[in-house]
Amino acid sequence: AQSVSQHNHHVILSEAASLELGCNYSYGGTVNLFWYVQYPGQHLQLLLKYFSGDPLVKGIKGFEAEFIKSKFSFNLRKPSVQWSDTAEYFCAVNAQGGTASKLTFGTGTRLQVTL
């Protein structure tokens, strides 16, 4: 069965600091990878996704993630965070192949950006 680990549960950064949130997954086959964001009081929104091709994926709002297959990792990065990036961030994985398309989520990382 697939699983996802997010090692940072709560991250506090000052505005303009750089961000990197860790995500590791456990699955022996080919995967699709996602990062979702949940702003306070809002629904989950897709930040970016990796299906194939260039392992460096660019998403919305200046976020990017790099898929490193050898490390089973898909870390999220942003060079300079803003106060409006305060939210909870979830990494998710889906096993390619077959007909199932369910996502397995990590436990999330709460990001707090201070002014």
Partner 1 sequence: DTGVSQDPRHKITKRGQNVTFRCDPISEHNRLYWYRQTLGQGPEFLTYFQNEAQLEKSRLLSDRFSAERPKGSFSTLEIQRTEQGDSAMYLCASSLWVAGNYGYTFGSGTRLTVV
Q: What is the DSSP letter of 62?
A: G
Tell me if 111 sits within 8 A of 85, measured CB to CB: yes
Nearer to partner 1, 17 or 73 (CB): 73
SS3 80: coil
User: For partner 1, which is the closer residue by CB, 11 or 103?
Assistant: 103
Which CB atom, from 28 or from 41, has the smaller least distance to partner 1? 41
As measured in angstroms, the least distance from the Cβ of 16 to partner 1 is: 28
Closest listed residue to residue 20, CA positions, set 58, 101, 84, 76 = 76
Question: In the complex, what is the shortest distance from the CB of residue 79 to partner 1, in angstroms, rounded to a whole number?
Answer: 25
Q: Which is it for the CA torsion 4, 27, 31, 98, positive or negative?
A: negative
Q: How far is the CB of 108 from partner 1 (least distance, A)?
A: 5
* Cβ closest to partner 1, residue 18 vs residue 26: 26
Contacting positions for partner 1 (CB under 8 A): 4, 34, 36, 42-46, 49, 51, 90, 92, 96-97, 99-108
Q: How far is the CB of 97 from partner 1 (least distance, A)?
A: 8
Residue 5, C-beta contacts closer than 8 angstroms, at least 6 positions apart: 22, 23, 24, 25, 26, 106
